[in-house]
């Protein structure tokens, strides 16, 4: 029996809150700045996998992975802003946002790694990127199609880190690490200095430390 789906499940919670706040009459240029932790995820080897398997098999694999990620993100108080093909963009707000985001990504790494031993789905190697800082949360589009999204260097850097993260690795910026408590910083290990295209200075890159290694 099919399950009836609420339209709310198609929209990020921030979007629903904004629509309700303005009673559906949203200003075209509605945008405000906020400190957020940004999380990107992306599947590794997607192109090669697409050449080997049918679209249905790829769809089922991606959908299963994104379902797991969404569930865990919501459990730690995050919000999925959008799905990006085989990955996603999630936001964490509030005073303890970085702490929750770190716990979230640690849970995701463990959960998704265990999932690889299942015979139900194709391999789904996921990498993550995390950053914390000021973002612009705004409304894009026109009356025919609109969406709320996050914009800014904080978002771009998180995406860049996700792009270089190896499978089942989570990379993060120094700004993210600095926002953590001293005990949580013990779960982060310095990896390297990286220079991304378009940026003037290198950034210090950290990774979730693997215990026992």
**b/e burial code for range 42-77 (CB count within 10 A of at least 16 → b):** bbbebeebeeeeeeeebeebbebbbebbbebbeebe
CATH architecture under which domain 29-208 falls = 2-Layer Sandwich (3.30)
Burial class of residue 206 (count of CB atoms within 10 Å of its CB; 0-12, 13-18, 19+): buried
pLDDT band at 212 (very low <50, low <70, confident <90, very high): very low
CA 67 from centroid of its chain's CA atoms: 13
Mean pLDDT, rounded, for 114-123: 71
Strands 125-142 and 170-173: parallel
Mean pLDDT, rounded, for 142-155: 87
pTM greater than the 0.95 cutoff: no
| pLDDT score of 189 | 96
Domain ranges across the chain: 29-208
């Amino acid at each position: 029996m099919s399950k009836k789906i609420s339209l709310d499940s198609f929209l990020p919670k921030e979007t629903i809150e904004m629509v309700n706040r303005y009673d559906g009459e949203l200003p075209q240029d509605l945008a405000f700045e906020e400190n957020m932790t940004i999380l990107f995820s992306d599947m590794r080897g997607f192109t090669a996998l697409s050449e080997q398997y049918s679209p249905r098999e790829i769809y089922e694999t991606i959908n299963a992975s994104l379902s797991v990620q969404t569930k865990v993100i919501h459990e730690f108080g995050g919000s999925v802003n959008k799905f990006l093909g085989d990955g996603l963009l999630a936001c964490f707000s509030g005073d303890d946002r970085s702490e929750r985001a770190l716990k979230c990504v640690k849970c995701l790494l463990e959960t998704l790694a265990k999932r690889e031993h299942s015979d139900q789905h194709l391999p789904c190697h996921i990498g993550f990127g995390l950053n914390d800082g000021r973002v612009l949360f705004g409304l894009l589009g026109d009356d025919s199609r609109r969406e709320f999204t996050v914009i800014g260097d904080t978002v771009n850097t998180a995406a860049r880190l996700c792009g270089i993260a190896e499978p089942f690795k989570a990379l993060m910026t120094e700004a993210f690490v600095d926002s953590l408590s001293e005990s949580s910083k013990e779960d982060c290990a310095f990896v390297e200095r990286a220079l991304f295209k378009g940026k003037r200075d290198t950034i210090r890159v950290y990774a979730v430390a693997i215990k026992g290694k």
